[in-house]
Amino acid sequence: MIALPSIAFGGFSGSAKGVTARQVGGRSILSLKCFPTGAATGAQLARRASLKKISKSWKELSSSQMTGWDRLAEHASGLSSLGQTAEISGLNLYIRLNVNRTMAGESILSDAPEQLSVLPDVVYDKIWVTPKTVVIKGITHEDGYKLVIKMSAGQSAGVSNAWSKTVILSPGMEDDWGDANMTMLYFKTIGVKPAVGEKIFIEMYWLEPASGFTGQSVYATKVCESEEDAAAEGYVKRNQITMADLKEESHVSECDVDFSTNAPVISFDAVCLGHSNVASSEAYLEDELPSDCVGTSMALARGMGTGNAGLAAQSYIIWLRNSSWDGSSITFAHRGGYYVKPTEVFGPGILY
């Protein structure tokens, strides 16, 4: 973007051959049309579609609703509640907050929020990046807010600025008891695992889904290190099995088996799909279970189907084992209630 004295281009506005001139705050600004580099990701396409839809919906607002947005925009200008200080119009505020809301899974807000929200910064202890793990630890939980995390693909360690290459990995997640385990989202969104020595650029901020306001961005970089180096530096893997820890042939579509309770239970949240006409589902693990987590558990479940007994309560016995014969696995085996698939096994499971 090029800002020029108004003498040369005063009063001039319009576009020609990819150059646009406009008047902002008494200045003429020339800008070149930008073209995206590389193919758009699914998330980018969805965001662009959403942007178009939100822009169009502005015209459907009543004049009092538009006035409400203009008034809020006057207050928002110069404040940092949108992550940057700048003047903003009612239309732009409407678009920006609603893009944020739709990103977090909320509907479009027609009435302007009654007041501005000032969100806290993201506070965390440490970011760990290895070829197998991308996790932010020690996040201070903020009730009612969602975390937006953007990351870049691995860059050469000498690159000092690749913030423009970050893409949204989490459009609005809650921290998981102080952790944001981005491993699966990173692999899925970026497409490749980070390699040792590559630098990852990270941007994160809180989003208030109710209003669409966001906090200030917190920026960080992290060079990918080996598992061994991370361990030597103090990284302790949380004792938790997620989809990132499972082999593809597993029969669960969601998996969060959390051993980090320091209580007589394991915390389960797994969606069992069943297999081979037996009333059980196997989760095959890439790595061994810690020896003190090997055993048997029993947890409650509820069907997720729509047919007969689709919402039936059930009990599941869960075998957690390391086998020299066929590797490590977690078997969810149906016991009480009517067996239905899929079924969500959730809550505390006693361990014995």
Partner 1 sequence: MFNSTGNNFGAGTIQFKDYQASNYVVLNAKFSYDPTNAAYQAADVLEIYVPDLSIDRSAVAGVILTFQDRYVYSSYTWNNDGGTAIKSWIKDKNTICLEKFTNFDDKGEITIFIQALYAQKNQPGNPIKGTRTRINMTQETRYLYWSSDTFCVIFEHWVFLHMQFSSCSYSYRNQPWEANMEDFPTDVNADVPFLGGSNQYNPSVNGYSLAHVENGVFTCPERMSGFESTGYDPFIFAFLVRDGEEGNGDTE
Pairing of strands 167-173, 146-151: antiparallel
Question: Measured from the CB of residue 149, what is the shortest distance to partner 1 in angstroms?
Answer: 18
140 forms part of the interface with partner 1 (CB under 8 A): no
Q: Output DSSP code: residue 189.
A: H
For partner 1, which stretch binds (CB under 8 A), given 28-36, 116-124, 186-194, 344-352? 344-352
Residue 154 CB partners (closer than 8 Å, separation 6+): 192, 194, 195, 198, 199, 200, 224
| CB-nearer residue toward partner 1: 29 or 265 | 265
How many Cβ atoms are within 10 Å of 276's Cβ, its own excluded?
Answer: 7
CB of 214 to partner 1, least distance (A): 24
Q: Which run of H or E residues covers position 44?
A: helix 42-58
With 0-12 CB in 10 A as exposed, 13-18 as middle and 19+ as buried, what is 125?
Answer: exposed
Q: Nearest distance from residue 303's CB to partner 1, in Å?
A: 8
Site for partner 1 contains 132 (CB under 8 A): no
Binding of partner 1 by 262 (CB under 8 A): yes
The continuous run of DSSP H or E covering 265 comes out as strand 265-272
Contact between 278 and partner 1 per CB under 8 A: no
- Kindly state the number of chain residues that form the binding site for partner 1, as judged by CB under 8 A: 50
Determine which residue in the list 31, 239, 253, 322 makes contact with partner 1, applying CB under 8 A: 239
Ranges within 162-221 binding partner 1 (CB under 8 A): 176-179
Cβ(207)–Cβ(173) below 8 Å: no
Question: Interface with partner 1 includes 322 (CB under 8 A)?
Answer: no
Q: Which is nearer to partner 1, 227 or 256 (CB)?
A: 256
Binding residues for partner 1, rule: CB under 8 A, are 141, 143, 176-179, 238-240, 258-267, 269, 290, 292-293, 295-296, 298-302, 308-315, 317, 335-339, 346-348, 350-352
